[in-house]
Amino acid sequence: MKGIALRIVVSIIIVISTVLLVNTLTEHNHAEENGQVRIIIVDENDITVFDDNISFEKGDDFFDVLNRSFDLTCATSSYQPDTTCSYSFDNLAYNGKVLLGISNSEFNILTNWSDSFLAFEVYDEPDFYLSTQGVSNIEFKDGDQIRIVVKSVLGGLS
Amino acid sequence: MSQRHQAIKDAALIAVLTSILFVQQLALSFMPNVQFTTLLLVLYAKVIGFKKTSLIVVIHVMAVNILSPFGPVLPIQIPAMLIGWFLVPFLLTTIFRKFNSAWSLAIFGFFFGFVYCWMYIPASVFILDIPFLTYLYADIVFELIFAVSNFLTILWLYEPLKKLLIEQKSRYDIISYQPKI
């Protein structure tokens, strides 16, 4: 009986500590004010198909910013393309959308997750660095530059 | 029992245990890094021994990469997956062979969670060219969840499952290996 009680206590402590730690490590970034962010989009042939500033509003996350200016294709729970972007991953480790494609009237980019994907790179003087967050949680503010690049899974990230 | 009959029974046992491993991993794949794989491999290593568990690991890695509806892992990461899972029977029959209680195995499972995830670092950093710190930072939450999942599942389920598997072994005389209880 004593052993069971100890297990219960240890399990509860570990679960609570993990939830708190994961919440601390998981970032939920939203714009704190209105502004503009420079978006650069590079296709699979290394051609820059979009390079312009787009506006965002207070409270937007980075997915909202893109969704307002582009036609997006997201992943479903089984990583199939979904142009409605209705599915959001919602679990302890990751909350948000997974972006597979982005397009407007001038370009159309679609990746399939298993062979290719969209890498998000945030500019931090003097170069762009791979984001550690997914599209819904990328930190941004007025004047930031974010590059979206099509990458081949087997081709490496650099 | 003849050697031939024993071999047939062993093959059937390995197939059944591998199926259990595969199905639970698929069934729980909607929750990243929450699975019973470590628990089952710890259980197998302790009850049926190193050789059979290693064979189960090989078949499991092949099955996951061929049959998973989520597709295979990158080919260059398959060795990391294989070595990572293989570490469970290897470590539990060598360095940590005296770990027999649920508590000691749960602590083993906790640290193994991190070690398993780190097995993917060399291929990711040196071949896929992902920056090391970016990879580590992005992965730490998943490592933590895997470690805690291992700890809790082993702590609570190892002993009843071990009892169950040993009972089945005695009942059907399936396994020739005699575990230390």
pLDDT tens figures, A39-84: 999 999 999 999 999 999 999 999 999 999 999 999 998 889 999 9
A22, A133, A156 member nearest B129 (Cβ): A156
Q: What is the pTM of this model?
A: 0.79
Q: Is the predicted pLDDT of residue B65 greater than 80, yes or no?
A: yes
Hey, what amino acid is at B76? I
* Strand pairing class (A48-56; A71-75): unpaired
**Which contacts of A63-68 are long-range, i.e. CB under 8 A and separated by 24 or more positions?**
A63/A96, A63/A97, A63/A99, A63/A135, A63/A136, A65/A31, A65/A37, A65/A140, A66/A39, A66/A99, A66/A102, A66/A135
| CA–CA dist A139, A89 (Å, integer) | 18
Question: In chain B, which residues have their Cβ closer than 8 Å to the Cβ of A15?
Answer: 148, 152
CA closest to A4 among chain B residues: B156
* φ and ψ of A53, to 5 deg: -90, 140
Separation between Cα atoms, residue A44 and residue A128, nearest integer Å: 18
Three-class SS state of A143:
coil
Question: Which among B32, B69, B134 has the least Cβ separation from residue A132?
Answer: B134
What pLDDT does residue B174 have?
52
pLDDT of res. B168: 85
| Cβ atoms A79, A47 nearer than 8 A | no
CA neighbours closer than 13 Å in the CB half-sphere of residue B89: 21
A26 interaction partners in chain B (CB closer than 8 Å): 141
CA distance A140 to A144: 6
Contacts of B173 (CB under 8 A, 6+ apart): B1
Residue A32 has pLDDT above 80, yes or no: yes
Looking at residue A102, the DSSP 8-state letter turns out to be E
Cβ atoms A158, A83 nearer than 8 A:
no
* pLDDT band (50, 70, 90) for residue A157: very low
Determine contact: A9 vs chain B, CB below 8 A: no
For residue B22, give the H/E element and its range: helix B3-27
pLDDT exceeds cutoff 80 at A158:
no
* Percent of chain B's residues with pLDDT above 90: 60
Q: Which of A8, A12, A13, A14 to mutate to test the interface with B (most CBs of B within 10 A)?
A: A14
Strand positions, DSSP E, B27-154: none
Rounded Cα gap, residues B60 and A141, in angstroms: 46
User: What whole-number distance in Å separates Cα of residue A129 and Cα of residue A127?
Assistant: 6
Residue in the block written with tokens 């969209």: A118
Rounded CA separation B159/B101 (Å): 8
ipTM tops the 0.90 cut: no
Tell me what the mean pLDDT of segment B6-28 comes to.
Answer: 90
Q: Decide: B20 and B41 in contact? Cβ < 8 Å.
A: no
Task: Using an 8 Å CB-CB cutoff, list chain A residues near B148.
Answer: 14-15, 18
- Chain A interface includes B140 (CB < 8 A): yes
Number of Cβ within a 10 Å radius of residue A120 = 19
Q: What is the pLDDT of residue A65?
A: 95
For B147-172, write each residue's pLDDT tens digit.
999 999 999 999 999 999 998 877 76
State whether residue B137 sits within 8 Å of chain A by CB: yes
Q: What is the pLDDT of residues B98-154, one digit of tens each?
A: 999 999 999 999 999 999 999 999 988 888 777 888 888 888 989 999 999 999 999
* Contacts (Cβ under 8 Å, ≥6 apart) of B59: B14, B18
The answer to whether the Cβ–Cβ distance between B137 and A77 falls below 8 Å is no
pLDDT at A52: 96
Q: Which of A83-92, B23-32, B87-96, B167-176 has the lowest mean pLDDT?
A: B167-176
**Is the predicted pLDDT of residue B32 greater than 50, yes or no?**
yes
**Side chain identity, residue A112:** N
